[in-house]
Structure 1
Amino acid sequence: MNQNEKYNTYSFLLERTARSVKQFAQRKFNELGFEVTVDQWQVLKVLYDHNDLNQREIAELTYKDHPTLTRIIDLLCKKELVERKMHPSDRRSFIIHLTEEGKAKVEFMKPQVAEIRTHAWHNLSDADFEEFKRILNTIYSNLSL
């Protein structure tokens, strides 16, 4: 196998695994009746940790593009989990605020989401995890240059 084929295989494995992790989590979200998607959860969790952010800040923290994030926020507003408030110093933008219902949702989901996330790490040692983390951080750094 030449270098190009090797890198294509690694890229495929990385993409396949990332997709599988997200699909597994979404299946569990559905089974548990969370009534939010994995992407919506990411936004809720970011707002829980750093409430009252503008969309650009949320996009940076969730790695979502602006059109996708706008759709997610629209859906979360309809579910009354977040609300848009006028930015106090910039009338052209909004601050996204987690409602009390949104806070309660995150607090209810947090321990269960943590358990869902650990499922992927079964049968891996601490050394495996550290090596995996090192490799992913190296790939991320290579692409961030």
Structure 2
Amino acid sequence: MNTNNYFLSFRTAVVSKKMHLFVMRQLAPLDITPEQWAVLSAIKETENTSQRILAELTEKDRPTVNRIMDVLLRKELVKKCVDEKDRRKTIISLTELGIKKIEAISLVIKKALTEMFKGLTESEIEHFLSTLQLIEKNIEE
């Protein structure tokens, strides 16, 4: 085994945890976790979606998305309605409060990402993302 590859894997895991904690600290004053933000963001992008689709988009299992949805419902950031076309289906959408919260969160996330990626060019970020996607593809094959 190439020790550099092992070290790269270890460093990637460490940096991932640090990035998560950094974002968590930035979002804490808004009473939102990164996981809740991921679900809210997916709801905003898809508009009127289902929990199954949210689980796929956020790459989280259904029970996790269900727990996050319970919290977001209690915070009155999202609402559930029965689908008029298929009454077995529940549609999830943002409330007015949820829309406003996303606007505030987006500003915090943008600032956090700017700070996190300070010193990197757009090209370097794109190359890094491309590399991560290739590694992910290799793992999934």
State if a TM-score over 0.5 links the two structures: yes
How far apart, in 1, do the equivalents of 2:118 and 2:4 lie? Answer: 26
How far apart, in 2, do the equivalents of 1:21 and 1:141 lie? Answer: 22
1:47-96 CA-to-partner distances (Å, cap 9, x unmatched) read: 11211100111111111111111000000000000111112233333111
Q: Which residue of 1 aligns with 2:136?
A: 140
Aligned residue pairs, count: 141
Q: Which residue of 1 aligns with 2:117?
A: 121
Q: Which residue of 2 aligns with 1:51?
A: 47
Of 79, 104, 108, 2:75 maps to 79
Q: Which runs of 4+ in 1 moved over 6 A?
A: none
Q: Which residue of 2 aligns with 1:16?
A: 14
Name the TM-score, length of structure 2 as normaliser: 0.89
Name the TM-score, length of structure 1 as normaliser: 0.87
Q: Offset at 1:127?
A: 4.1
Q: Offset at 1:109?
A: 1.9
SS in 1 for 2:30: coil
Unmatched 5+ residue regions in structure 1?
Answer: none
8 Å contact from structure 2 (residues 27, 105) kept in 1: no
1:14-56 CA-to-partner distances (Å, cap 9, x unmatched) read: 11111111100111112xx201111101111111121110011
Amino acid at match of 1:50: T
8 Å contact from structure 2 (residues 26, 108) kept in 1: no
How high is the sequence identity, in percent, across the aligned residues? 32
The 1:130/1:49 distance shift into structure 2, 3 A limit, reads closer
Q: Which residue of 2 aligns with 1:96?
A: 92
